[in-house]
């Protein structure tokens, strides 16, 4: 019953895709348990860049079954387009390779319209979202008016639920320009068609998943985004609309806690963030721009440039606590190859006092200033290295400093964009023997 959870330890975009791609080689099932098409995993397949938004990264391996869990919100149009793109790459997209929870909630066009209206210039509620309708979909779920994948299979039921939604949202929809307001007849027809196309993939995924875990199959749970964007523990309100931490696996996939064996946290060797919100180590200077350009820090889903800064151990320490990391994966170490000095934030200064814990209040965090430890850079290329002992000594010291400060071993180090650009420090993580 070897099951492994892989989640982001920062504000997302940590390079989870390539790590999940690597670990999927030994996985029988890969499960996405939260988020929507606002998130993305980027893989390098045969020298081609492949961005995935809803389908788990294990889809590129022919032996792996991929599951979109009930905790995910699914935009059927985006999903069908993604399926067609993968088929165009000769990747098998069939119910033998991909399943969708019948309990997953559906993102409709009106969710995207409402999201965009909130993010419009001048709005006091702008959060820097991707405007993909993810937040409004989760709102409907909590308000118990949401429409689930199973509802797309029954025209009468879908119609009744859409009518309820239109009634409940009438005051919001009326604010949209008349030519943008959704039409219930058109929506019902279009989404029933989506339901027909997706029907072979929709099922009770908890049956398959729990049976696989009981029978000893290797199961990998992949997270989207990162701990800093968790709706409970992130920099609220500048967060996503779901729980991104490891504890969300049980709810978002429908498995009991006793079936979770280990948790890996993925962190960059520096820090990035997309969208609004406090970011203590952000560098609005040449160094930040250098990190962005070398690291190609642009969003897989939106193409937006990411905000860049030095590694923040205060934030990482908090992420480690709430996730219970058994090991860390350190990604993009090679991006730091060209820096004579590398800084690591070990504490914050707030109101003249030094603090070492991550504050709950975003207003407080926005006033925190980083306290840095400066380490010597290594000024040598690392992308070709596959053995830890071959890393420059200062690169080893950098990794060991992080591990010692957090009290967590580093299991893997990524030194490039491809799946195999990895230094394995502990074989257990790639062999599912933890």
Give CA–CA dist 267/420, Å, rounded.
17
Give CA–CA dist 342/269, Å, rounded.
10
Residue 13 appears among annotated catalytic residues: yes
* Residues counted in the chain: 434
Q: Is the dihedral of CA 299, 303, 307, 310 positive or negative?
A: positive
* Residues in Cβ contact with 108 at an 8 Å cutoff, skipping those fewer than 6 apart: 133, 137, 147, 165, 182, 187, 191
Q: Among 13, 115, 140, 326, which one carries the catalytic annotation? A: 13
Residue 179 sits at φ, ψ, to 5 deg, of -75, -10
Give CA–CA dist 223/273, Å, rounded.
17
H helices present in 238-334, as ranges: 248-253, 286-295, 313-323
Name the DSSP class of 200: G
H or E element, residue 327: strand 327-331
Give CA–CA dist 269/22, Å, rounded.
19
Give CA–CA dist 71/109, Å, rounded.
20
Q: Among 41, 53, 105, 111, which one carries the catalytic annotation? A: 41
Residue 41 appears among annotated catalytic residues: yes
Give CA–CA dist 157/192, Å, rounded.
11
The closest alpha carbon to 434, from 68, 23, 41, belongs to 23
Give CA–CA dist 423/425, Å, rounded.
6
Block residue for tokens 């596959």: 386
* Residues in Cβ contact with 14 at an 8 Å cutoff, skipping those fewer than 6 apart: 8, 226, 266, 267, 268, 331
Give CA–CA dist 222/406, Å, rounded.
23
Give CA–CA dist 401/373, Å, rounded.
10
H helices present in 124-238, as ranges: 134-142, 155-168, 170-173, 184-198, 205-214
Task: Please give the positions annotated as active site.
Answer: 13, 41
């Amino acid at each position: 019953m070897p099951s492994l959870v892989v989640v982001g330890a920062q504000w997302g975009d940590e390079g989870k895709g390539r790590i999940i791609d690597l670990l999927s080689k030994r996985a029988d099932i890969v499960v996405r348990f939260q988020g929507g098409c606002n998130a993305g995993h980027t893989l390098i397949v045969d020298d081609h860049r492949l961005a995935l938004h809803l389908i788990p990264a294990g889809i590129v391996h022919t032996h792996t079954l991929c599951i979109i869990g009930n905790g995910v919100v699914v935009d059927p149009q985006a999903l069908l387009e993604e399926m067609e793109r993968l088929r165009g790459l000769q990747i098998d997209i069939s119910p033998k390779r991909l399943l969708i929870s019948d309990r997953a909630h559906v993102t409709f066009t009106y969710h995207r319209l409402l999201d965009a209206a909130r993010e419009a210039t001048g709005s006091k509620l702008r959060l820097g979202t991707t405007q993909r309708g993810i937040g409004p979909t989760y709102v409907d779920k909590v308000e118990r008016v949401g429409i689930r994948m199973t509802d797309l299979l029954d025209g009468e039921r879908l119609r009744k639920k859409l009518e309820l939604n239109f009634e409940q949202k009438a005051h919001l929809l009326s604010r949209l320009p008349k030519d943008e307001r959704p039409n219930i007849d058109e929506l019902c027809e279009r989404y029933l068609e989506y339901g027909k196309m997706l029907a072979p993939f929709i099922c009770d995924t908890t049956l398959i998943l729990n049976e696989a875990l009981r029978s000893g199959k290797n199961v990998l749970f992949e997270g989207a985004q990162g701990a800093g964007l968790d709706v409970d523990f992130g920099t609220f309100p500048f967060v996503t609309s779901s729980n991104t931490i490891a504890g969300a696996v049980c709810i978002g996939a429908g498995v009991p806690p006793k079936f979770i064996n280990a948790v890996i946290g993925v962190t960059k060797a520096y820090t990035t963030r997309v969208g609004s919100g406090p970011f203590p180590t952000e560098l609005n200077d040449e160094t930040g721009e250098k990190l962005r350009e070398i690291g190609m820090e642009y969003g897989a889903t939106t193409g937006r440039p990411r905000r860049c800064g030095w590694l923040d151990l205060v934030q990482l320490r908090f992420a480690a606590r709430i996730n219970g990391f058994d090991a860390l994966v350190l990604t993009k170490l090679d991006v730091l190859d060209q820096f004579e000095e590398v800084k690591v934030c070990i504490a914050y200064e707030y109101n003249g006092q030094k603090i070492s814990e991550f504050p709950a209040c975003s207003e407080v965090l926005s006033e925190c200033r980083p306290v840095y430890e400066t380490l010597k850079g290594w000024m040598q290329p690392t992308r070709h290295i596959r053995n830890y002992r071959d890393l420059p000594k200062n690169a080893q010291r950098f990794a060991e400093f992080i591990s010692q400060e957090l009290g967590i071993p580093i299991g893997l180090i990524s030194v490039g964009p491809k799946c195999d650009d990895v230094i394995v420090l502990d074989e257990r993580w790639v062999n599912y023997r933890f």
